[in-house]
Amino acid sequence: MDPLEAITPIDGRYREKLEQLSEYFSEHALIKERARVEVEYLAKLIEEVEPGKISALPLKWREVLRVIGEEVSIEDARRVKELERALGHDVAALIRLLREKLHEYGLGIIASHIHLGLTSEDVNNLALSRLLHRFNQEALIPALISLIEKLSSLALEHVDTIMLGRTHGVPAVPTTFGKFLANYAYRVARITEELHSFRFPGKLGGAVGDLSALKVAYPNVDWLEFARSFVESMGLEYFPAATQILPHDRVSEYLMKVAILDSVLSNLCRDLWMLSSLGLLIFGIKEKEIHSSTMPHKSNPILLENAEGAFDLASESLAYMARRLISSRLQRDLSDSIIKRFYGLPLSLTVLGIRNLEGALDRIIVRKEEMLLEVEGHPEILTEAYQVFLRKLGVEDAYELIQQAVKDGWSKVAEVLRSHLPESEYSKLADLRPSSYTGEAERLTIQLLDEVDRIYKKLTAARP
C-alpha cells in the first residue's frame, strides 16, 4: 500500500517517523507474537505434562519449535489472513497454520497438542502484553530518555537565566528559565521511571478462567502452578483473577500513566508556545523551509504545535481506553477486542509528539536579554517582598498598605516603606532589584537536576 492511500496519518503522513512501531502494533506483529506464545506453551506442555512424547521427537525438537515461533514471515501472515477469511476466526487461522508447520518440520506427532485446552484470549492477552512490554522498553523509554537529556541540558545551561514568572497569564515574580525547564525534566523523569519498572500482566485460564478442560484431561497436574510459571516464563506478571479474558486493570494503569505523561508534555508545549508568542523564545527556521504560504517573514513553532496536538489526542484516547477496557460483560464479550487493536494509534502519537518536541528544542533560541529587560521593566513584582518584610516587622496591614500604594503610583510605595522602616532596613529593600529576586530558583534547579540524573542513571544502567 502506498502511504498516500493510508486511512490514518500514522501509516501515511507520519509513516517515515513511526515505521519502527509496526514491530509492535501491526497485524503481522500480533500474528508473530501469538505464534511465539503458542509454541512456547506447546513446548512447556510437552516437557512437563506429556514428556512421554519426547522420545518420538527429533533430537532438537525444542529448537525447531522456537524457529517456527520466531520466523513467522509476512507470507505466513498472509496465509493466516487467507485462512481467517474461510474460518472467521483469527486465532483458529493461526492454529491451522502452526499445525501445517509442525507437520512440515517433522513434529506432526504433537500437532494435536497445539493450543490444547486454551481459549483464544489465553494467547491474545499474553501476546498483547508482550508487545506492549517491548514497545515500552524498546521505543517509548528510549525516546523519553533522549527527551530528558535535552530538557536537563537546557535547564543546566539556563540555570541563571532570569525569566518573569506569570500566574493567571499576568506578571507575578521572577524565576529562571532553568527552573522552568527543570520542573518539567523532573516530572517527565519521574513518570518515565514508573513506566520503566512497570510489569505487564498475563493470564492462562481457559474458557472462563478455571482451566476446566485441562483439569479433566490431566487431573494430576497442578494447573494453577503451571499457569503461573508459564505466564512468568513469558516475562509477565501472573494475574490470577481472570475470566475468559485478562481483566484490564493493570494494562489500564499503564495506559493511564502514558496519558498523564502526554498531558504533562502537552502542557510543556503550550508553555513554550506562550513564551514564544511573548517574543522570549524563537524556534528557528531551517534553510529553504517555508512557514507561511503568504508571509515570507514567518518563523512558526510548527513542531511544537504538532507535538501538542499529538499529545492531546494521545492522552484523550488512552484515557478513554483505560476506562473502557475495564468493562466486560460477565466472563467475556468482544467489545474490548477492537479497542485493543488501536493501541498503536495513541502510543504512536505519543512517540511522534516526543520526537517533534525534541525537534523543537533543537531549534530553540532563548532571548536572554529580552527576558531580563522584561523582568526589570516590572518593578511592581517586588511588592510581594515588601509586604512580607513589613509584616515580619509587625506591620499587620502591610499587604493592604502596599496594595493601595501601588494603585496610587510607584512613588507612594517608597513613601510607605520609608514611613514604616528604619533607614538601614529601607536601604536593603530599595537596593533590591527585580532581577535578583529569584529566591531559591538556582538551588532548586540543581536539586531537581540531581534527582533527574539519579533517575537517568537508573534508566540507562541496563542499556548497552
Question: For helices 344-363 and 141-157, what crossing angle results, to 10°?
Answer: 20
For a pLDDT cut of 70, what percent of the chain falls above it?
97
12 inside domain: no
Q: What is the mean pLDDT of residues 251-260?
A: 96
pLDDT of residue 164: 95
Q: What is the mean pLDDT of residues 377-401?
A: 91
How much is the mean pLDDT over the chain? 91
238 inside domain: no
Q: 284 falls in which pLDDT band (50, 70, 90)?
A: confident
Q: 428 falls in which pLDDT band (50, 70, 90)?
A: confident
Query: Is the pLDDT at 245 greater than 90, yes or no?
Result: no
Q: Which residue type does 382 have? A: L
Residue 407 CB neighbour total at 10 angstroms: 8
**142 and 87 inside one domain:** no
Asked whether 321 and 254 are in contact (CB, 8 A), the reply is no
Q: What is the mean pLDDT of residues 413-437?
A: 89
pLDDT of residue 208: 87
Asked whether 445 and 163 are in contact (CB, 8 A), the reply is no
**36 and 60 inside one domain:** yes
Q: Is 161 helix (H, G, I), strand (E, B) or coil?
A: coil
**308 and 390 inside one domain:** no
Number of domains in the chain: 3
308 inside domain: yes
For a pLDDT cut of 90, what percent of the chain falls above it?
71
pLDDT of residue 329: 79
Q: What is the CATH number of the domain that holds 313?
A: 1.20.200.10
Q: For residue 63, which of 27, 107, 118, 119 has the smallest C-alpha distance?
A: 107
* Element of type H or E holding 164: strand 162-167
**110 and 259 inside one domain:** no
Residue 452 CB neighbour total at 10 angstroms: 26
Q: 288 falls in which pLDDT band (50, 70, 90)?
A: confident
**Residues 6+ positions from 93 with CB-CB distance below 8 Å:** 80, 81, 82, 83, 84, 87
**270 and 139 inside one domain:** yes
What is the distance between the alpha carbons of residues 49 and 30, in angstroms, rounded to a whole number?
Answer: 27
4 inside domain: no
Of 83, 116, 149, which residue constitutes the final position of a domain?
A: 116
What is the distance between the alpha carbons of residues 243 and 415, in angstroms, rounded to a whole number?
Answer: 76
Query: Is the pLDDT at 327 greater than 60, yes or no?
Result: yes
Angle, alpha carbons 148-149-152 (nearest 5°): 80
**281 and 425 inside one domain:** no
Q: Is 14 helix (H, G, I), strand (E, B) or coil?
A: coil
Q: What is the mean pLDDT of residues 101-113?
A: 94
pLDDT of residue 7: 77
90 inside domain: yes
Query: Is the pLDDT at 378 greater than 60, yes or no?
Result: yes
Q: 265 falls in which pLDDT band (50, 70, 90)?
A: very high
217 inside domain: no
**70 and 137 inside one domain:** no
Query: Is the pLDDT at 101 greater than 70, yes or no?
Result: yes
Query: Is the pLDDT at 354 greater than 90, yes or no?
Result: yes
Pairing of strands 170-176, 281-283: unpaired
Angle, alpha carbons 298-300-305 (nearest 5°): 155
Asked whether 459 and 193 are in contact (CB, 8 A), the reply is yes
If you search the block for the grid coordinates 513584582, which residue do you land on?
A: 381
Residue 76 CB neighbour total at 10 angstroms: 20
**268 and 409 inside one domain:** no
Please pick, among 55, 168, 197, 297, the residue that the annotation labels catalytic. Answer: 168
pLDDT of residue 6: 75
Of 343, 358, 373, which residue constitutes the final position of a domain?
A: 373
- Least confident segment among 18-22, 116-120, 304-308: 18-22
Q: What is the pTM of this model?
A: 0.92
For residue 164, the cross-strand partners are 174
Q: Which residue type does 431 have? A: D
Does residue 117 come out as left (phi exceeding 0), alpha (psi in the -120 to 50 range) or beta?
left
**276 and 419 inside one domain:** no
Q: What is the mean pLDDT of residues 367-392?
A: 93
What is the distance between the alpha carbons of residues 460 and 464, in angstroms, rounded to a whole number?
Answer: 8
Asked whether 308 and 231 are in contact (CB, 8 A), the reply is no
Pairing of strands 237-238, 201-202: parallel
Q: 464 falls in which pLDDT band (50, 70, 90)?
A: low
Q: What is the mean pLDDT of residues 300-325?
A: 91
Q: What is the mean pLDDT of residues 404-429?
A: 88
Question: What is the residue range of 396's domain?
Answer: 378-432
Please pick, among 112, 146, 292, 419, the residue that the annotation labels catalytic. Answer: 292
**170 and 285 inside one domain:** yes
All three cell numbers of 137: 522498553
**267 and 344 inside one domain:** yes
Q: For residue 269, which of 332, 173, 197, 188 has the smallest C-alpha distance?
A: 188
**80 and 195 inside one domain:** no
110 inside domain: yes
- Least confident segment among 287-296, 404-413, 432-441: 287-296
What does the pLDDT look like over 80-97, one tens digit per residue?
999 999 999 999 999 999
**Residues 6+ positions from 411 with CB-CB distance below 8 Å:** none
If you search the block for the grid coordinates 517515515, which residue do you land on?
A: 16
pLDDT of residue 360: 93
Q: 291 falls in which pLDDT band (50, 70, 90)?
A: low
Query: Is the pLDDT at 226 greater than 80, yes or no?
Result: yes
Query: Is the pLDDT at 438 greater than 90, yes or no?
Result: yes
What is the distance between the alpha carbons of residues 278 and 301, in angstroms, rounded to a whole number?
Answer: 13
Question: For helices 141-157 and 177-196, what crossing angle results, to 10°?
Answer: 160
Residue 167 CB neighbour total at 10 angstroms: 8
- Least confident segment among 62-76, 162-176, 294-308: 294-308
Judge whether 89 counts as a catalytic residue: no
Query: Is the pLDDT at 296 greater than 70, yes or no?
Result: no
Q: Where is pLDDT greater, at 463 or 176? A: 176
Q: Which of 2-6, 23-27, 240-244 has the highest mean pLDDT?
A: 23-27
Asked whether 261 and 255 are in contact (CB, 8 A), the reply is no
Pairing of strands 162-167, 201-202: unpaired
Judge whether 292 counts as a catalytic residue: yes
First to last CA, the chain: 35
The runs of H, that is alpha helices, within 167-301 are 177-196, 212-217, 223-233, 249-277
444 inside domain: no
pLDDT of residue 333: 76
Query: Phi and psi at residue 175, in whole multiples of 5°?
Result: -140, -155
Q: 292 falls in which pLDDT band (50, 70, 90)?
A: low
pLDDT of residue 158: 97
Asked whether 356 and 306 are in contact (CB, 8 A), the reply is yes
What is the distance between the alpha carbons of residues 388 and 185, in angstroms, rounded to a whole number?
Answer: 31
